[in-house]
Chains A and B, each alone.
Chain A
Amino acid sequence: MTLADTFHLSLKTVLSYRLRSVLIILAMTLGVAAVVVLTALGDGARNYVVNQFSSIGTNLLVVMPGRAETSGAFPGAVLGQTPRDLTLKDAQLLGRLSQVRRYAPLNVGEAELSAANRLREVTVLGSNADLIPIRHMKLAQGSFLKRGADYSAQIVLGSQLAREFFPRTQAIGQRVRLNERRFLVSGILAPQGKTMGHNTDEIVIIPVKQAQSLFNTTSLFRILVEAKSHDAIEPAKEAILETLKQSHDGEEDITVITQDAILATFDRILHALTLAVAGIAAISLIVAGILVMNVMLVAVNQRTSEIGLLKAIGAPAADIRFLFFAEAMWLSTAGAVFGFLLGQLGSLLLRLAYPDLPAWAPVWASVAGILVALITGILASILPANKAARLDPVQALGKQ
């Protein structure tokens, strides 16, 4: 029997047992679709988080006061010392490092913004002119903080604040107050929406020294540093640690985290999550495979006398085995193809429902889903096919 005839004859069988075939194909379809949709969801979540992290800057290092380490005793503790605060002088030192392209000191606090008979609580960032390029922010109108003018009483408003306080008038050039201090609006940020849980449309930015004076502090909350290149990230980290250790009397009391390291960690965790979800979905494929085996075993029993006849008219055992193989192959191939299509449709619906989530099934997951469906289908047909091939023709013919 030729290969083409084997596939043709088994296709006819698949088509004639319509309900049975539809049910098996449905089981396979759901299994493959589950793998595709769930990995699309997992990988979408991973890409979403990675994109969010990438959008806050490039080659970014964050310098924080204190040591994020619990091992060993903090030597200063014995002498009643606390970790030193980060200061503006520290930030300026970092700006001179050869590996560093630019830096932005950061102070964060809450204050009351009032203008034109309106008043509300806002988040205040104190920083310098380089905050815009470092954090990939955009200005909609006017100008940002003036370079080197840490004391100037200028303020940059988030887009929503500008709209709320000056709905009908031009915001640039208006006077506003932050806790009784006067500021002149010099620029408005472009609407950016939420990144990393912060709504940049509802913040104001003022020069760092104004912020320190507003919040009555001499320390910094963070120093954001941008390395000159991706390769300069690690050397920059070393240099920052070294510089601040010297400036802090040999005490290593700061922590530097790199955007890269956080990214890699999230990437790893979410990738593992995707794999785990794919594995769970694959279980349903194996269940579908067992269903194929069960149905094929029933088919062998149902068609015993037919198998006997095929043997009587000269079909060798190998032909009969391959007929049942081919039948299982049709069922699992159809299930794999429909499952893939259904999975793609499901991912599309996810993307339509949550436009922020890039829910694209990774290629490896689709390929793996299809392959697992085909392989379980074929493995599941080995036992029934062998059973059919080994039937004794005389007994098989006698059975009705």
Chain B
Amino acid sequence: MIELTGITRIFRMGGQTIYALNQIDLEIQDGGYVAIMGPSGSGKSTLLNVIGLLDRPDSGSYQLDGRTVTDLSEPEQAQYRREKIGFVFQSFHLVPRLTAAENIELPLVLSGLAPSERKLRVNEALRAFDLSDRATHRPSELSGGQRQRVAIARATIMQPTAILADEPTGNLDHRIGAEVIALLENLHKTGTTLIVVTHDRELGDRAHRQLILRDGKIIADKKA
């Protein structure tokens, strides 16, 4: 469960103070499917980054699975990101030097798992995301859809409780985008919390809950 209370994130730009997030209170149940929407600069990516422990709020408290995580140390936060959260980005963020299999393996490497165990789980993931014949290809040799499948496989390899996707279809055409959404929704069906930041109204409508942000505030919270 994700619980945000009074979360505020401030950026200072040229002497001006910008409230990227302004006193956000939010609760997301485990297994939820939430779309965060709103115009550019409304704070939706910042909200996702705070939930994903990539960004520290200036004030407010954040409880993840009943534990306050805002005051954790840097290595402890890294461990939470590693074990509980999977990120999917608009521009995939694959390491260009590593093969598809090695990119998927990265979180397992960071967690210090033994190589034999890693191989097993990576092969399983490659099969599950239909990437077995692309295992030894580098990102530059993969199509956009394949790259995003690798990224999703990487985000899920640690079996996180939440997948955070920031415009996951932004760099893909409509048909491939729909395939990627289908993959993410399949993960949600197995019980993973799915939080998607998007501009795309159609994609937002598929979520069970829509948060509309404007100027750092939640102005609408629609449940389907």
Q: Residues of A at under 8 Å CB distance from B?
A: 1-2, 5, 9, 12-13, 16, 305-306, 308-319, 393-394, 397, 400
Contact between chains at B154 and A313 (CB < 8 Å): yes
Q: Which residues of B contact A9 (CB under 8 A)?
A: 109
Q: Which residues of A contact B74 (CB under 8 A)?
A: 316-317
Contact between chains at A12 and B110 (CB < 8 Å): no
Contact between chains at B78 and A315 (CB < 8 Å): yes
Question: Nearest B residue to A315 by beta-carbon distance?
Answer: B110
Contact between chains at B93 and A397 (CB < 8 Å): yes
Contact between chains at B54 and A314 (CB < 8 Å): no
Task: Let me know if B106 is at the binding interface, CB within 8 A.
Answer: yes
Sorted nearest first, the 5 A-B pairs with minimum C-beta distance are A314-B82, A316-B78, A316-B75, A16-B97, A314-B81
Contact between chains at B52 and A314 (CB < 8 Å): no
Task: Known A311-B54, A314-B83, A400-B91; judge A319-B97 contact (CB<8 A).
Answer: no
The total of interchain contacts (Cβ-Cβ below 8 angstroms) comes to 70
CA distance A1 to B107 in the complex (A): 9
Question: Nearest B residue to A317 by beta-carbon distance?
Answer: B74
Contact between chains at A394 and B49 (CB < 8 Å): yes
Contact between chains at B106 and A313 (CB < 8 Å): yes
Q: Nearest Cβ in chain A — how far from B139, in angstroms? A: 11
Contact between chains at A1 and B75 (CB < 8 Å): no
Q: Nearest Cβ in chain B — how far from A108, in angstroms? A: 76
Task: Known A13-B97, A16-B97, A305-B93; judge A314-B111 contact (CB<8 A).
Answer: yes
The answer, among B83, B89, B110, for a CB contact under 8 Å with A319, is B110
Q: Nearest Cβ in chain B — how far from A300, in angstroms? A: 15
CA distance A136 to B81 in the complex (A): 81
Q: Nearest Cβ in chain A — how far from B106, in angstroms? A: 6
Contact between chains at A309 and B93 (CB < 8 Å): yes
B141-167 interface code vs A (CB 8 A; 1 in, 0 out):
000000000000011001000000000
Q: Nearest Cβ in chain B — how far from A309, in angstroms? A: 4
CA distance A12 to B78 in the complex (A): 24
Q: Which residues of A contact B95 (CB under 8 A)?
A: 306, 309
Q: Which of B97-151 contact A (CB under 8 A)?
A: 97-98, 106-107, 109-112
Task: Let me know if B79 is at the binding interface, CB within 8 A.
Answer: yes
Q: Which residues of A contact B154 (CB under 8 A)?
A: 313
Contact between chains at B110 and A1 (CB < 8 Å): yes
B62-104 interface code vs A (CB 8 A; 1 in, 0 out):
0000000000001100111111011101010101011000000
Q: Nearest Cβ in chain B — how far from A395, in angstroms? A: 10
Q: Which residues of B contact A310 (CB under 8 A)?
A: 106, 110
Q: Nearest Cβ in chain B — how far from A101, in angstroms? A: 73
Contact between chains at B93 and A5 (CB < 8 Å): no
Q: Which residues of B contact A1 (CB under 8 A)?
A: 109-112
Q: Which residues of A contact B86 (CB under 8 A)?
A: 313
Task: Let me know if B58 is at the binding interface, CB within 8 A.
Answer: no
Task: Let me know if B55 is at the binding interface, CB within 8 A.
Answer: yes
| B contact residues, range | 20 to 34
CA distance A248 to B95 in the complex (A): 92
Q: Which residues of B contact A12 (CB under 8 A)?
A: 97-98
Contact between chains at A2 and B93 (CB < 8 Å): no
**Most chain B CB within a 10 A radius of its CB, from A12, A314, A394:** A314
Q: Which residues of A contact B109 (CB under 8 A)?
A: 1, 5, 9
CA distance A13 to B97 in the complex (A): 7
Q: Nearest Cβ in chain B — how far from A45, in angstroms? A: 48
Contact between chains at B82 and A2 (CB < 8 Å): no
Contact between chains at A314 and B78 (CB < 8 Å): yes
Task: Known A305-B93, A312-B87; judge A394-B82 contact (CB<8 A).
Answer: no
CA distance A172 to B163 in the complex (A): 105
Question: Nearest B residue to A5 by beta-carbon distance?
Answer: B109
Q: Which residues of B contact A315 (CB under 8 A)?
A: 78, 82, 110
Q: Nearest Cβ in chain B — how far from A39, in angstroms? A: 39
CA distance A397 to B89 in the complex (A): 9
Q: Which residues of B contact A318 (CB under 8 A)?
A: 75
Contact between chains at A394 and B55 (CB < 8 Å): yes
Contact between chains at A312 and B54 (CB < 8 Å): yes
Q: Which residues of A contact B155 (CB under 8 A)?
A: 313
Q: Which residues of A contact B111 (CB under 8 A)?
A: 1, 314
- Identify 7 residue pairs between A and B in the complex whose beta-carbon atoms are under 8 Å apart, listed by A's number: A1-B110, A12-B98, A312-B52, A314-B78, A316-B74, A394-B49, A397-B54
Q: Which residues of A contact B82 (CB under 8 A)?
A: 313-315
Q: Nearest Cβ in chain A — how far from B60, in angstroms? A: 17
Q: Nearest Cβ in chain B — how far from A283, in angstroms? A: 34
Q: Nearest Cβ in chain B — how far from A7, in angstroms? A: 12
B167-184 interface code vs A (CB 8 A; 1 in, 0 out):
000000000000000000
CA distance A180 to B20 in the complex (A): 115
Contact between chains at B112 and A2 (CB < 8 Å): yes
Q: Which residues of B contact A400 (CB under 8 A)?
A: 91
CA distance A317 to B87 in the complex (A): 18
CA distance A319 to B107 in the complex (A): 12
Q: Which residues of A contact B89 (CB under 8 A)?
A: 309, 397
Q: Nearest Cβ in chain B — how far from A14, in angstroms? A: 10
Q: Which residues of B contact A2 (CB under 8 A)?
A: 112
Q: Which residues of A contact B54 (CB under 8 A)?
A: 311-312, 393-394, 397
Question: Nearest A residue to B155 by beta-carbon distance?
Answer: A313
CA distance A400 to B89 in the complex (A): 13
Contact between chains at B112 and A313 (CB < 8 Å): no
Contact between chains at B97 and A313 (CB < 8 Å): no
Q: Nearest Cβ in chain A — how far from B54, in angstroms? A: 5
Question: Nearest A residue to B81 by beta-carbon distance?
Answer: A314
CA distance A16 to B85 in the complex (A): 30
Contact between chains at A311 and B78 (CB < 8 Å): yes
Given A1-B109, A314-B85, 7 more pairs with CB closer than 8 A: A16-B97, A306-B93, A313-B155, A314-B81, A314-B111, A318-B75, A319-B110
